[in-house]
Amino acid sequence: MRSSFYQRLSTRWKKAQSLVCVGIDPISSKLPAVISSEKDSFFKFGKAIVEACAGHVCAFKPQFAHFAAEGRESELERLIEFIKLSYPDIPVVLDAKRGDIGSTADLYAEEAFKRYAADAVTVNPYLGFDSVDPFLEYSDKGVILLCRTSNPSAIWIQDAEREGERVFLKIARKAKERNVNGQIGLVTGATYPEDLGLVRAIVQDMPLLVPGIGAQGGDLNAVLDNGLDSEKSGLLISSSREIIYASTGSDFPEAASRAAEELRNKINKNR
């Protein structure tokens, strides 16, 4: 079985011929002057980025904390609503990295899938599947688990061995086992391409969200060599700053569009 999230993502990979996932991470101090002083500037900035990049992407990934830290959750709601109304074939991944149990996890799932109407959400499985199951109850939605993250100190926990296997590989194995509805994906950072390959070997055609290209120094060709699935697809290669802040001038939408298109073309040339 495949969730509607996976089906929509798979269709989008083919239709757009793109593995690019654009992260929408607005920061007040980085917004172009032409928009920074306007009311609802985060929504207007995100909307302009979406309109400019829609033709080049497989998904959009708004980052929850960037909106919530400034009390702009309503602008995040409006942005996701805009994407779903204007570009209904492009999945929206809410990057929230939730991780808790019991009624709190239930409410986090409700927040992601009912309040924000996201198609998928990132979840931290550190508490085990008690923290994941409430999200899986929404059988049409995607649940993308942190597995092998791109930050340097991740090895402290993720490389630790448990029963003869590193923790991130155990997460991948358990994710495959529990992926009965085709809902689960994994976050696997570009900065550890060989480990990305180990994860791909375990999960086969499961979607992998790959941060770390660009500012964090991940090698695109190494990601493609290790991460593509059997159909030369299966990746959401995430880029945020290099695309949304490609220009600080009034031409920021055009610059973002060019950056997204260039990344898509570079990926397609090498896969």
Whether 97 sits among the annotated catalytic residues: the reply is yes
Q: What is the dihedral of CA 253, 255, 259, 262, to 10 degrees?
A: 110
Closest CA to 125 of 64, 193, 176: 176
Separation of alpha carbons 112 and 267, rounded Å: 30
Gap between the Cα atoms of 147 and 171, Å rounded: 6
DSSP annotation of 231: T
State the Cα torsion 263-18-221-188 to the nearest 10°.
110
Instruction: Determine the Cα–Cα distance for residues 59 and 94; give it in Å rounded to an integer.
Output: 10
Please tell me which residue in 39, 44, 61, 97 is annotated as part of the active site: 97
Query: Which residues are tagged catalytic?
Result: 97
